[in-house]
Structure 1
Amino acid sequence: MDEYEQMALSELVSWKKKIAKKSGRLERMSKKVQIKVNSYIPDQVHKMITESIKGMIEAVLSGSKYMSKEKNVMLLSLQQKEEWVAETVNAYRKTAVIEGVGTGAAGLLIGMADFPLLLSIKMKLLFEISRIYGFDPNKYEERLFILHIFQMAFSSEEKKMETLPIIEEWDSGKWPEIDWQKFQQEYRDHIDVIKMFQLVPGLGAAVGAYANHHLLEQLGETAVNCYRIRLLKE
């Protein structure tokens, strides 16, 4: 294990500790607020989010939408791969910020369009990252792994702790079925509060930019550490 791999392993251990850390009082209070806010969200918004997530899941599992060109990474070191991943995350994050500003500034109806657009950006990023690390998302099991990364990034602390052992033992070939209804609810609960402010006139553009930047950053960090689990184990 070279110096960079040792550093990556250290960061991975720290990330796992962060995942296992119990939420503080502020986070627990935020959850209560979130539940209350959800009750005020129009049914059409809830329905649109649910249908967007359902469509995203179906597209990932069928492999019909997010395929990217194969990347020649056989001779790259982990450091070189992760430098490429960082550049890719940065590029997609900029795209998400621009998209968030545009839809957030346009009002309620256009602002709602941010949800399916952002989902598409997130999924395309994960497929790109999978290729850079040397995995083939043409394979069903790799597309399923991508959905588990997504779930690790955007779910409650309890669900993260349920998903982490699955990630750690992924290459054993034992992949439990995903509860798709729970998958949708976890994602909605994770983003509802901050993204709802994007629909507020006068706040939409600023909130859209901040939220999309944060969500893409979070997704990139989660993906990197999930693939490190597999590669550093080797």
Structure 2
Amino acid sequence: MNESETREALLHELEVVNKWSEDQKGLWFWEKLGRIPFMILDRITPQTVHNKIGQALDEIGSYIQKGGSYLTSEREVVRRFVKRTDNPHLSVMHISKLPLSYMDEVSEGIVGMRKKVAMTQGATTGIGGFLTLSIDIPFILGISLKTLQEIAISYGYDPNDQQERIFIIKCLQFVSSDIVGKQAILHELSDFNKKDTEKREQTLSQLQGWREVMISFRDNFGWKKLFQMIPIAGILFGSFINKSMISDIGETGRMLYRKRRILEKLEEGRTSE
């Protein structure tokens, strides 16, 4: 535990995360309604969009197994910590020992940067209307996974580790789940840090149904598909929805990784006492 972080301060931060978890029991009305248009429009979706969705599904499977093309570079995240600490010799292995406030600051900056990129992409693909979703869907999946990986690094975890990739996919699944699903995932991840081989294998086994993650992820494009049927108007809606999705993903990743790091710091504090 860092000297500047008292046990009381960490427990307070843990309460903040737990309150956020409780707030997830509610499901925003528009999130529920937003899934309806997708079911209606699914039959008239161009085959190119369906093909891109299928491709994204396959790449998620590849990502879980070996990282695929979605593994991000850790250099940019480390550079942010070097700038924050004035330590040019800092590496990923040192991040976990830094104060939680540093981790929060860097992860927040990363999410802000990714939201701007997503907004620009959404506006660009919105120009072409409905058909450009075949470009936007793989892009938003890729930037979502990379954002979560960068958040993982920000809290001192290595996304090259398969267990971390499982955690990241669970974060992605959480964003797209309903109330029951969110609570189930929070329960699954509650003791993810424990060296419980059986528990880890159970989580891995559950992810064999990873296609469900992408189906839920796809459903979140319901409203976007509806409004992108109107070219040009899709610029506004594409930008807004992309920003909202990355915002939700960023918040989820930061909160769940914060909780893991806080619990580890508290455990380290107990061990050193």
Instruction: Output the TM-score relative to the length of structure 2.
Output: 0.75
**In structure 2, distance between residues paired with 1:37 and 1:220:** 28
Q: Does 1:52 align with 2:52?
A: no
1:20 is paired with a residue whose SS is coil
- Note the aligned Cα RMSD (angstroms): 2.5
Give the aligned partner of residue 114 of structure 1. Answer: 136
Is the contact between residue 197 and residue 207 of structure 1 (CA under 8 Å) also seen in structure 2? yes
**In structure 2, distance between residues paired with 1:29 and 1:122:** 22
- Compute the displacement of 1:220 (Å): 0.6
CA deviations on 1:61-95 (whole Å, 9 max, x unpaired) are 31232132263314421111110000011111111
Q: Does 1:200 align with 2:230?
A: yes
- Which structure has more relative contact order (CA 8 Å, sep 6+)? It is 2
Give the aligned partner of residue 98 of structure 1. Answer: 120
Counterpart residue identity of residue 17, structure 1 = E
CA distance 1:58–1:200, shift in 2 (3 Å) = farther
Give the aligned partner of residue 86 of structure 1. Answer: 108
**In structure 1, distance between residues paired with 2:164 and 2:186:** 16
CA distance 1:24–1:218, shift in 2 (3 Å) = closer
- Compute the displacement of 1:26 (Å): 6.5
- Compute the displacement of 1:171 (Å): 1.9
CA deviations on 1:107-126 (whole Å, 9 max, x unpaired) are 44434201111111111111
Counterpart residue identity of residue 14, structure 1 = K
Counterpart residue identity of residue 134, structure 1 = G
CA deviations on 1:100-145 (whole Å, 9 max, x unpaired) are 1111113444342011111111111111111110001121111111
**In structure 2, distance between residues paired with 1:191 and 1:97:** 15
Number of corresponding residues? 233
- Compute the displacement of 1:28 (Å): 5.0
Percentage identity across paired residues of the two chains: 26
**From 20, 38, 42, the counterpart of 2:25:** 20
Q: Does 1:165 align with 2:171?
A: no
2:177 is paired with a residue whose SS is coil
Is the contact between residue 193 and residue 260 of structure 2 (CA under 8 Å) also seen in structure 1? yes
CA deviations on 1:9-51 (whole Å, 9 max, x unpaired) are 2321221112223x47766555555533445434542342232
Higher CA-based Rg: 2
Can you give the 5+ residue segments of structure 2 that lack an aligned partner in the other structure?
Answer: 1-5, 79-90, 265-273
Counterpart residue identity of residue 191, structure 1 = F
**In structure 2, distance between residues paired with 1:28 and 1:127:** 28
- Compute the displacement of 1:56 (Å): 3.3
**In structure 2, distance between residues paired with 1:75 and 1:30:** 42
